[in-house]
C-alpha cells in the first residue's frame, strides 16, 4: 500500500513537473517569417511567404490549444549577420517560438545554428543547401520543400530515363556550382548516361556566348545549368538566342523557380526542364490553394510559398496534438505525424529533419501550348521521395544513429 502511494505521489510529482515545463510559452504562439523581401529571392519567397503563413494561420482557425497565433516578419537582406541577429532578438526579447522560410543558404545555416542553441523550431522552405539536414542538421530544424540534392538528382535521373543520356555542364565556378555539377554528374552516370564535359564560368557573368558555343558543339543531348540566380537567367536567355533548344538540345535548370520562368517569358524559357516540389496547376487541391493565395498576392504561389503554408500548418497541428510549444517536443511530434495536404501526400519528416515528399519533373511549355498567364509547365515525371532525397545514412547528420 505504501509503495503504491509513494508511486502515485512520484507519478503525480512527475506529471506536475512536466505540466509546468510544458504549455504555451507567453500565452501566444509566435511565428517569425524571415525572408528576402526586396532582392533576388523576394519573388520566390518574400511577402508571398508571409501571406502563405498568414493563410495557414487563418485556415487553422487563428488559435491553437486555446492560445492566439501571431505572425511577425523581417527582411534578412541576404546577410547572415542580419539574419542571425534578428533571430536572436526575436527569441530573447520577443518570445518567438518558430522561424519560417529563410531563403539563401548562408543565412539559413546561420539561423539554424542560433535556433539549435536556443531549442526553437526552424521551418525551412526557402533555403536549398542539403547540408541543413546533413552536417549542419538540428533536432529542431525541419527542411520542408526541396534541397539541392533533390533538384540535382531528380533532374539527372529522370532526364536520363527519358533518353537524355549525354550531358554537358555549364557550371558556376565556385563551391556551390562544383557541388551541383558533381552530384548531378554522378546520378547521370549511375543511371547509365555519359557526361561529355563541362565548362566553368565566373560568378555573375554577363556574356555566356563562348561557354554556350562549347556546350552546343559538344552535341550533348542535355545541357545542365549548374548555376543560380542571375547567371541561370542570363544563360537561359542567351541559349535561346543561340537556338540551342530549337536545335534539339535540352536545357536542364538545376536551380530554377517558376518565378524565373515568369520573368523570362515562355518564348525564351520553353523547353527548359526543371524539378520542383509543387506547381499550382497539378490538381484540384493545388488549384484551390493557388486561388486562395492569388486573392491576397495577385499572383500564383511558388513552391517555396506553398511550402511555408504546409510547414506552418503541420507545426500548428503538432502543437494542437501535444498542447505545448516547446521546440524539441513539437518537432518530435511533427516527425510522428504523417503529412497530408494539398501539395504533399503521405509525406513524413525524417529523423534528420528532411521532409520526404515526391518531387516532379516539369518541362516549360511552348508559347502556343500555354492557355494564359502562369500556364507554364507540363509534368514529365513524378520522382518518388526515396529517389529524390539523399539517403539518411549519407547525410552525416551527427545525431542520427547509423
Partner 1 sequence: MTNGTAKLGTWAGAALLAVAIVLPFVVYPVFVMKALCFALFACAFNLLIGYVGLLSFGHAAYFGIGSYVTAYTVKAWALPPELGILLGTAVAALLGVVFGWLAIRRSGIYFAMVTLALAQMVYFYALQSPWTGGEDGIQAVPRGHLLGIFDLNEPLVMYFFVLGIFLLGFFIIHRTIHSPFGNVLKAIRENEPRAISLGYKTDQYKLLAFVLSAALSGLAGSTKSLVFQLASLTDVYWTMSGEVVLMTLVGGLGTVFGPVVGAFIVITMENYLARYGSWVTVIQGIVFVLCVLAFRRGVVGEIIAFVQRRTVRAPGAATPAHAPGE
Give least dist CB 110 to partner 1, A: 5
Q: Which of 74, 159, 170, 381 binds partner 1 (CB under 8 A)?
A: 74
Nearer to partner 1 (CB atom), residue 41 or residue 289: 41
Give least dist CB 151 to partner 1, A: 16
Q: Which of 88, 161, 182, 189 binds partner 1 (CB under 8 A)?
A: 88
Question: Judged by CB under 8 A, does residue 105 bind partner 1?
Answer: yes
Question: Judged by CB under 8 A, does residue 42 bind partner 1?
Answer: yes
Question: Judged by CB under 8 A, does residue 47 bind partner 1?
Answer: yes
- Which set of grid coordinates corresponds to residue 18? 512536466
Nearer to partner 1 (CB atom), residue 18 or residue 106: 106
Give least dist CB 267 to partner 1, A: 29
Q: Which of residues 159-198 bind partner 1 (CB under 8 A)?
A: 173-176
Q: Which of 80, 95, 119, 396 binds partner 1 (CB under 8 A)?
A: 80
Give least dist CB 106 to partner 1, A: 5
Question: Judged by CB under 8 A, does residue 77 bind partner 1?
Answer: yes
Q: How many residues bind partner 1 (CB under 8 A)?
A: 38
Nearer to partner 1 (CB atom), residue 105 or residue 238: 105
- Which set of grid coordinates corresponds to residue 299? 499572383
- Which set of grid coordinates corresponds to residue 3? 509503495
- Which set of grid coordinates corresponds to residue 119? 531549442
Nearer to partner 1 (CB atom), residue 73 or residue 268: 73
From 101-109, 254-262, 293-301, 359-367, span contacting partner 1 (CB under 8 A)? 101-109
Question: Judged by CB under 8 A, does residue 205 bind partner 1?
Answer: no
Question: Judged by CB under 8 A, does residue 200 bind partner 1?
Answer: no
Q: Contact letters (x/-) for partner 1, 18-37, by CB under 8 A?
A: -------------------x
Nearer to partner 1 (CB atom), residue 198 or residue 239: 198
Sequence-separated (6 or more) residues with CB below 8 Å from residue 89: none
3-state SS of the chain is CHHHHHHHHHHHHHHHHHHHHCCCHHHEEEEEEEECCCCCCCCCCHHHHHHHHHHHHHHHCCEECCEEEEEEEEECCCCHHHHHHHHHHHHHHHCCCEEEECCCHHHHHHHHHHHHHHCCEEEECCCCCHHHHCCCCCCCEEECCCCHHHHHHHHHHHHHHCCCCEEEEEEECCHHHHHHHHHHHHHHHHCCCEEEEEEEECCCCCCCHHHHHHHHHCCCCEEEEECCHHHHHHHHHHHHHCCCCCCCCEEEECCCCHHHHHHHCHHHHCCCEEEECCCCCCCHHHHHHHHHHHHHHCCCCCHHHHHHHHHHHHHHHHHHHHCCCCHHHHHHHHHHCCECCCCCCCEEECCCCEEECCEEEEEECCHHHCCCCCCCEEEEEEECHHHHCCCHHHHCCCCCCC
From 6-14, 88-96, 140-148, 236-244, span contacting partner 1 (CB under 8 A)? 88-96
Q: Contact letters (x/-) for partner 1, 119-158, by CB under 8 A?
A: ----------x-x----x----------------------
Residues that bind partner 1 (CB under 8 A): 37-38, 42, 46-47, 50, 72-82, 84-86, 88-89, 92-93, 105-106, 109-110, 113, 129, 131, 136, 173-176, 202-203
Amino acid at each position: 500500500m505504501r509503495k503504491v502511494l509513494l508511486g502515485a505521489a512520484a507519478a503525480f510529482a512527475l506529471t506536475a513537473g512536466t505540466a509546468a515545463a510544458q504549455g504555451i510559452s507567453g500565452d501566444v504562439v509566435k511565428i517569425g517569417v524571415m525572408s528576402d523581401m526586396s532582392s533576388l529571392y523576394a519573388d520566390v519567397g518574400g511577402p508571398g511567404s508571409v501571406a502563405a503563413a498568414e493563410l495557414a494561420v487563418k485556415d487553422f482557425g487563428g488559435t491553437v490549444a486555446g492560445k492566439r497565433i501571431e505572425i511577425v516578419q523581417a527582411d534578412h537582406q541576404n546577410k547572415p549577420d542580419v539574419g542571425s541577429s534578428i533571430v536572436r532578438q526575436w527569441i530573447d526579447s520577443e518570445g518567438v517560438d518558430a522561424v519560417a522560410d529563410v531563403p539563401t543558404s548562408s543565412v539559413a545555416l546561420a539561423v539554424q545554428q542560433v535556433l539549435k542553441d536556443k531549442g526553437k523550431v526552424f521551418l525551412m522552405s526557402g533555403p536549398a543547401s542539403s547540408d541543413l539536414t546533413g552536417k549542419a542538421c538540428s533536432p529542431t530544424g525541419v527542411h520542408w520543400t526541396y534541397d539541392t540534392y533533390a533538384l540535382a538528382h531528380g533532374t539527372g535521373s529522370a532526364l536520363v530515363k527519358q533518353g537524355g543520356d549525354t550531358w554537358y555542364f555549364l557550371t558556376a565556378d565556385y563551391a556551390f556550382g562544383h557541388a551541383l555539377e558533381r552530384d548531378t554528374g554522378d546520378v547521370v552516370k549511375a543511371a547509365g548516361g555519359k557526361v561529355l564535359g563541362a565548362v566553368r564560368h565566373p560568378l555573375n557573368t554577363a556574356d555566356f556566348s563562348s561557354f554556350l558555343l562549347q556546350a552546343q558543339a559538344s552535341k550533348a543531348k542535355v545541357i545542365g545549368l549548374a548555376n543560380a540566380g542571375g547567371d541561370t537567367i542570363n544563360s537561359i536567355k542567351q541559349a535561346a538566342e543561340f537556338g540551342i533548344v530549337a536545335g534539339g538540345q535540352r536545357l536542364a535548370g538545376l536551380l530554377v523557380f517558376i518565378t524565373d520562368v515568369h520573368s523570362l517569358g515562355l518564348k525564351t524559357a520553353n523547353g527548359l526542364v526543371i524539378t520542383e516540389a509543387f506547381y499550382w496547376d497539378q490538381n484540384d487541391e493545388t488549384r484551390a490553394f493557388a486561388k486562395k493565395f492569388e486573392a491576397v498576392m495577385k499572383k500564383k504561389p511558388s513552391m517555396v510559398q506553398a511550402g511555408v503554408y504546409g510547414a506552418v500548418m503541420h507545426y500548428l497541428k503538432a502543437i494542437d496534438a501535444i498542447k505545448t510549444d516547446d521546440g524539441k517536443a513539437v518537432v518530435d511530434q511533427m516527425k510522428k505525424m504523417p503529412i497530408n495536404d494539398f501539395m504533399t501526400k503521405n509525406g513524413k519528416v525524417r529523423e534528420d529533419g528532411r521532409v520526404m515528399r515526391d518531387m516532379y519533373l516539369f518541362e516549360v511549355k511552348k508559347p502556343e501550348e500555354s492557355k494564359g498567364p502562369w500556364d507554364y509547365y507540363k509534368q514529365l515525371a513524378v520522382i518518388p521521395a526515396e529517389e529524390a532525397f539523399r539517403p539518411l545514412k549519407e547525410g552525416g547528420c551527427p545525431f542520427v544513429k547509423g
